[in-house]
Structure 1
Amino acid sequence: MQPYRIFIGYDPREAVAYHACVQSIIDWCKEPGKLQFTPVRGQRRDGSNDFIYARFLVPHLCGFSGRALFLDGDMIVRADVRELFDLPMLYRGVRVVKHDYKTKHLVKYLGNKNEDYPRKNWSSVVMWDCGFFPHRILTPEFVAKSSGSYLHRFEWLKDDQIGDLPAEWNHLTMEYEPNPAAKLYHYTVGTPCFHEFRIQEGADEWYSTYRRLIAPIDHGR
């Protein structure tokens, strides 16, 4: 049985977001026994988050073999992740949602700058073909010395080696128009766990997921 290997960014400043993301995946998965979660955390280079560069070590962590999914932690899913694992890679090294937008918010959670740059948020949901040969360059040493722009734009790959994911698998709340059919809410400006972002598209679903996460176990008492 091939597991669904899922790497999720973990930021201790919003640890609850990681756990809510995991809970949502379990809730929707028809084969939860195949789920294999790994929190991703690395050395912080800037004011963003700990896992911003560590995500590019997923192929290395998987022994450059098989497939794996990376997700930022500030998300909940609304469909079965099997849909992503069932997509053919078609000789692509990765599949991503190819966002093309300018942010509506210059400041995001915890006062961090929210700057525009090419291919912004492409790397926030990544289906990896870990065995794709060009990924062999992604060693810890190489990732440590590479620039953020090089990594987040997938510049070690040719453009035709970067495949697409359906847009509903990385819907940016507070940036895009509401989409009730979204299969993944990405709270990219700020997760509802932060007071100032508690009211936004998908906030009710985030809190519902959170409540299931912390609900006490009923021992029949």
Structure 2
Amino acid sequence: MINIFIGYDPREAVIYHACANSLVRQSSVPLALTPLALKNLHFYREAHTDGSNPFIYSRFLVPHLMGYQGWALFIDGDMLLRDDVAKLWALRDDSKAVMCVHHDYQTRAAGKYLGSRNASYPRKNWSSVVLWNCAHPANRAVTPGFVMEASGAQLHRFTWLADGEIGELPIEWNWLPDEFGANDQARLVHFTLGAPCFHEYAAVPMAAEWHREKLLMNHCEQVVIEGPF
């Protein structure tokens, strides 16, 4: 079974559910899905003031939530799986503390959804899809206290790890269509500037696939009732 933690923002709950549906719909193995909702994390107090969403730092609690045992996957909520997540899971490397896509780009947009600022910084979006080796000794440093006190730069750049402990995933597992354009080979699509549920992002590249997933999420088969009425 794959333990998957998904970022949850109550301002855009629909994206969590669409993301979860895309995971379940295509997975060939059992999944355990956990929304990272701040109201459920009573042991953690979010004091950072520079975040654009509630899970921007709680994602680093995954090793603690796993009891520093086994592996787990974290993904942002504004994502859509286009392939079986078991294929991503199969890329785990026990010699690494984390595994992620090593994006290297400068954003084209100064802002993103709900008026949030969108700045470029080193290792931007590396932490949006993370295979966590929770049992790796280096990840023992990532305690709730550390997460509460550390800066965004320390956390998102994985500064508690040596560079050789940060494994690399293929970019198809964290494709940014609003930054890079459409990609038929993408396996995981990340609407990093804003999910298509927001009007201003409703027609970004690959948005049609998100809208389809939302329809599938809301679908309910019906018994056809024939007249008379």
TM-score category (smaller protein): over 0.9
2:206 maps to 1:210: no
Aligned equivalent of 2:28: 30
Q: Quick one: which of 73, 79, 88 aligns to 1:69?
A: 73
Is the CA contact (8 Å cut-off) linking 2:61 and 2:142 kept in structure 1?
yes
Question: Quick one: percent identity of the two aligned structures?
Answer: 49
Aligned-pair CA distance for 1:144: 0.5
> Is the contact made by 1:169 and 1:182 (CA closer than 8 Å) also made in structure 2?
yes
Where does 1:80-119 land on structure 2 (aligned, <5 Å)?
Answer: 80-119=84-123
Residue 20 (structure 1) aligned with residue 24 (structure 2)? no
Separation in 1 of the partners of 2:131 and 2:223?
39
**CA–CA distance in 2 between the matches of 1:218 and 1:21?**
24
Number of residues of Structure 1 aligned to a counterpart in Structure 2 = 217
Between the aligned partners of 1:62 and 1:219, the Cα distance in structure 2 is 43
Partners of 1:61 and 1:220 lie apart in 2 by 46
2: CA distance, partners of 1:167 / 1:142: 29
Letter in 1 for 2:37: R
* Aligned residue number for residue 53 of structure 1: 57
Once the 2 structures are TM-superposed, how far is the Cα of residue 177 of structure 1 from its aligned partner?
3.2
Q: Which runs of 4+ in 1 moved over 6 A?
A: none
The Cα of 1:199 is off from its aligned counterpart by 0.4
Deviations 1:93-131 (A, max 9, x none): 011000000001111111111000110000000001110
Check conservation: 1:67, 1:85, Cα contact below 8 A.
no
Structure 2 CA distance, aligned partners of 1:121 and 1:127? 14
Q: Offset at 1:47?
A: 4.6
Give the distance between the partners of 1:58 and 1:166, measured in 2 at CA. Answer: 22
Distance 1:150 1:47, change over 3 A: closer
Match of 2:159 among 141, 155, 161: 155
1:146-192 per-residue CA deviation (whole Å, 9 max, x = no partner) reads 11110000000000000001110000111113211100110001100
Change (3 A) 1:90 1:63: closer
Give the aligned partner of residue 197 of structure 2: 193
8 Å CA contact retained: 2:123, 2:156 = yes
TM-score, normalising length: structure 1: 0.95
Three-state SS of the structure 2 residue aligned to 1:30 is: coil
Q: Contact 2:92/2:99 (CA < 8 Å) preserved in 1? A: no
- The structure number with the bigger radius of gyration is 2
For the residue of structure 2 that corresponds to 1:136, the secondary structure is helix
Of 146, 151, 159, which aligns to 2:150?
Answer: 146
Q: Which of 36, 41, 53 does residue 37 from structure 2 map onto?
A: 41
- Segments of structure 2 that go 5 or more residues without pairing to the other structure are 39-45
| Contact 2:92 2:131 survives alignment (8 Å) | no
Structure 1, unmatched stretches of 5+, are none
**Aligned-pair CA distance for 1:90:** 4.2
Helix, strand or coil at the partner of 1:107: coil
Matches of 1:214 and 1:97 in 2, distance apart? 31
Question: Given residue 39 of structure 1, which amino acid in structure 2 is its aligned partner?
Answer: P
Structure 1 Cα separation of the partners of residues 145 and 11 of structure 2: 26
Letter of the 1:117 partner, please give it: Y
CA RMSD of aligned residues (A): 1.3
Structure 2 CA distance, aligned partners of 1:89 and 1:131?
Answer: 12
- Whole-Å Cα distance in 1 between the matches of residues 92 and 111 of structure 2? 37
State the shift of 1:219 in Å: 4.8
